[in-house]
Structure 1
């Protein structure tokens, strides 16, 4: 193996659970790998660190990575899937006494998203189009997920595109779900995976293959058993055990599907996020059989 230590960017959200499980259960060690997790603020930071060489692999949302590839920021390869949409895990919410009752009522209203031009914004735009209204860029406001409940409560924004555990927090305060963002054209949409640069993938093929095998074992476990995720979340996120037991989780796909990822790229093209047709097949590094 060309390298036995991999620095891996991770984000303290449910998407990263399989990495944590693989570390704890010694799956990487069994492959002769030491994985050093490093918390990154988000996909944009991860992309810079991958290009700069301070990370080897990172968790990254497909929308953000496809944007970076389309803009020519770098060439990237996804080595494993991590997280997909499931009912209740990505929703648009308003506060208890909001006059907003339907998706159509969101016309011209401010909506908080964690990152502009993210999967949260893209799927909000799709749901608005389904409801017959056109979203405008200026109605989306950037807020970190933990800041969304307060921003909604004090009227800084009219609605939020939220994820867990903040959906549960806002619901407990009487907040209402207007729409599940992952329904209709966005049902089961891929959310995030583990990616690297083309250069790193070419330089360390055996190390990457070992990473894929070890992570794949953990992914299989969490895909079958929610309890494993519930037990793991409090160890690396701010989600406590009681909340972990009740939150809506996404799915943990066990393979990188070209057709599934292509849906993301095609939606991005349709909504003007990327200029060019993106062939995602060139961005997937299938696990090697060896």
Structure 2
């Protein structure tokens, strides 16, 4: 069970670079199956945000879990799950991090996407609405008519905020949602260009330390308690074309997820290596959970919430979106 640590006000110069990596793709220069234990493709490019959620990707690389499977995995920075969908479609990414809301929305629009592995599940105080320390906004109801920042429109962020608005008697249309990358939210809010932001770690801790931001509400409560947040996706075509490669990725990621779940120190040691989160910050940020396998019943909760709030026009059976589990 993931330990939950309270964030203390410490002076941290924390920023996380979200500069996109170059646009080069993984290409089709995979080694032959004869040299790779039967894998159809041994070199893959995987999209990920430089935040705690995809830490298992980097753990699997560092611990040699991918290498054991005959895989060479090159991480590539993305800005969000929705933004990564064109990249997996055009082949510049083989697999990518995604949030489940963006995935189910894309599937409802006809996108041929498969979820291939789980990644991150919410815990208390991992996704909060934050406001400046001297803000007149004291309750969620005070957000009426205000501007709220989210990292992507119509994704898990907007859905989570909307669920809290409902509890306060407000509708999604009662606030103005504006898209802004997590690293830019603090300065944007502090300068008065927005009133509040939906913020995750390490930016919760960073903005508390730098600006004195305070939590307005934990968005992962009530309907959204323990909500599945993010996973790994590929196109349906890719999953069908490279089944052995996919199975190898799934096995390595599952092994890394189990390690992350059982030993927080592994996460703390890895975060400074692929983000600009320093070791001190890594030791105090609040973390969610790292499930080692996709569970249709848990994910169905996300799709059902989306239907309730009008993100989906028709129900989705998430079992149809999940790729077959790894063999062996």
Which TM-score band (shorter chain)? over 0.9
**Counterpart secondary structure, 1:15:** coil
Structure-2-length-normalised TM-score: 0.85
Q: Shift of residue 137 of structure 1? A: 7.0
- Paired with 2:326 and 2:131, the residues of 1 have a C-alpha distance of 46
- Paired with 1:210 and 1:79, the residues of 2 have a C-alpha distance of 11
Q: Give the structure 2 partner of residue 132 of structure 1.
A: 169
Q: Shift of residue 286 of structure 1? A: 3.5
Which residues in structure 2 correspond to 1:9-20 (within 5 Å)?
9-20=47-58
Residue 98 of structure 2 is aligned to residue 60 of structure 1: yes
Q: Shift of residue 7 of structure 1? A: 1.7
Q: Shift of residue 41 of structure 1? A: 2.4
Whether contact under 8 Å (1:108, 1:135) holds in the other structure is no
Q: Give the structure 1 partner of residue 24 of structure 2.
A: none
Structure-1-length-normalised TM-score: 0.96
Residue 147 of structure 2 is aligned to residue 113 of structure 1: no
Residue 308 of structure 2 is aligned to residue 270 of structure 1: yes
Whether contact under 8 Å (1:107, 1:135) holds in the other structure is no
2:290 to 228, 241, 252: 252
Residue 44 of structure 2 is aligned to residue 6 of structure 1: yes
Whether contact under 8 Å (2:189, 2:195) holds in the other structure is yes
* Bigger helix fraction: 1
> Residue deviations 1:127-165, cap 9 Å, x none?
110122222176111111111111111111111111111
Q: Give the structure 1 partner of residue 184 of structure 2.
A: 147
**Counterpart secondary structure, 1:192:** strand
- What number of residue pairs does the alignment pair up? 289
Q: Give the structure 1 partner of residue 86 of structure 2.
A: 48
Residue 232 of structure 2 is aligned to residue 198 of structure 1: no
Q: Give the structure 2 partner of residue 21 of structure 1.
A: 59
Q: Shift of residue 201 of structure 1? A: 0.8
Q: Give the structure 2 partner of residue 123 of structure 1.
A: 160
Q: Give the structure 1 partner of residue 322 of structure 2.
A: 284
Gaps of 5+ in 1: none
Gaps of 5+ in 2: 1-38
- Paired with 1:254 and 1:212, the residues of 2 have a C-alpha distance of 9
- Paired with 1:129 and 1:167, the residues of 2 have a C-alpha distance of 23
Q: Give the structure 2 partner of residue 83 of structure 1.
A: 120
How large is the Cα RMSD of the aligned pairs? 1.3
